[in-house]
Amino acid sequence: MKLTTLCYIEKENQYLMLHRVSKKNDANKDKWIGVGGKFETGESPEDCLMREVKEETGLTLISYRFRGIVTFVSDVWETEYMCLYTADRWEGEIGECEEGILEWVDKDKMEELNLWEGDQVFLRLLAEEEPFFSLKLVYEGERLKETQLNGKRI
C-alpha cells in the first residue's frame, strides 16, 4: 500500500492547484490536484506534508489543518491511504514545479477542472467544513464506483 499527503493551500476564495502535465507515467496525468506526495521512510504525515509542499511549491507552511484520511481502492493501482490537509498561511514565494503548472483557482470554478470524481467529493466536504473524516473511494479504472464516508455508503 501507498501512504501519501495532499494539501489544498487556500488564499482568499482560491486553492493553489497543480495541473499535472509534466511527469511521464503519471497516474494523475492531465488532472488538477492539490500538492503533496508519497511518504519517505521515517516521516510523519506532517513531515511528508511540509517536505512535499516545499518541493512542489517553494512554500513553507505556517498554518495547516489535518482534515481527513482518504482511502483509495482501485482495480488498477495499489491501495493508497492519503492524509488530507488544508493550509492558509505560509512563507516564501511560489516557484516552478517539476510535476506541472501551479495556478490559483477560484473555489467556485473547481468543478470546471479535470478532477478525479472522488476529489470532487472531498472538496465538497472541505467546503462544508466537515469535521475530521474518513473517506473511502473505490475506483474501477478512472470511474468512481463506491463512496463511503465514516464507514457508511453515500
Question: Each residue of 2-55: pLDDT tens digit?
Answer: 999 999 999 999 999 999 987 777 788 899 999 999 999 999 999 999 999 999
User: pLDDT (tens digit, 9 = 90+) per residue, 132-146?
Assistant: 999 999 999 999 999
Query: At the top level of CATH, which class does the domain 2-153 belong to?
Result: alpha beta
Q: Does the pTM exceed 0.85?
A: yes
Region 99-127: mean pLDDT is 96
Q: How far is CA 135 from CA 27, 52, 92, 95, 119, in A?
A: 20, 22, 32, 31, 11
pLDDT attached to residue 43: 98
d(C-alpha 11, C-alpha 17), whole Å: 11
The structural domains of the chain, with segments of one domain joined by +, span 2-153
